[in-house]
Amino acid sequence: MKAVIFDLDGVIVSTDHLHYLAWKKITDQEHIPFNEEVNHLLRGLSREASLEVILKQTEKSYTVEEKKDLIMLKNQHYLESIASLSPDDLLEGIPELLGLLKDKGYKVAIGSSSKNAPYILKQIGLLDFFDAISDGNHIIHSKPDPEVFLKAAEMLGVSPEACVVVEDAKVGIEAAKKAGMKAYAVGDALNSELKDGSLLDLMLIL
């Protein structure tokens, strides 16, 4: 193991509820049924893929342009909410883990489908910490496609086999395994049969 690639939302910081509130504003506006259960299905998906899941809840048809407008409006709502993020919002144990990895000489990267990853990292004080940021601005295919993790490995100059991934979503674990990487789970991803272990397991072998 030479590098650790972290998903962002749900691993480094949690903005899942902020995504929910932003999508909720859109679905209320469009009179589309939407709740936490549907929002749960959006973990690890791109904006475009998330909207397609949401639109399955309605019989109304939307043009390509209308979908683009909805995505842009949702992102505006989301950006307004994450402007209040700070280093205090880092999830428990993450500062210590990141420090340990750097002390031991491991390379670290972000592998996230979010196009807002750099802004979120700036808000929580970690923009300059990671050796590479592979996010929605660099990829065509979102998880469970392995592209985001393979791109991170390429940016780091490390072979996929020498990378491990920390993920909170099942689709993220699947993407990591497709990339030929070991995958360690937190949150919902602990229920994935594909995981190689938990985040605690990873910390024990560092």
Q: Under a CB-based contact definition with an 8 Å cutoff, are residues 112 and 7 in contact?
A: yes
Q: Under a CB-based contact definition with an 8 Å cutoff, are residues 7 and 168 in contact?
A: yes
Q: How many helices (H) and strands (E) does the chain have?
A: 9, 6
Residue 16 among the catalytic residues: no
Q: 106 phi and psi, to 5 degrees?
A: -75, 145
Instruction: Report CA Rg, the chain.
Output: 17
Tokens 């428990």 correspond to what residue? 92
The set of residues, in sequence order, having a beta carbon less than 8 Å from that of 181 and lying 6+ positions away, is 5, 149, 153, 160, 161, 163, 164, 165
How far CA 61 is from CA of 50, 52, 118, in Å, comes to 16, 11, 33
Among the options 9, 135, 145, 168, which is catalytic? 9
Residue 9 among the catalytic residues: yes
Nearest to 26 by CA among 8, 62, 15, 43: 62
Among the options 7, 135, 145, 168, which is catalytic? 7
Q: Which residues are catalytic?
A: 7, 9
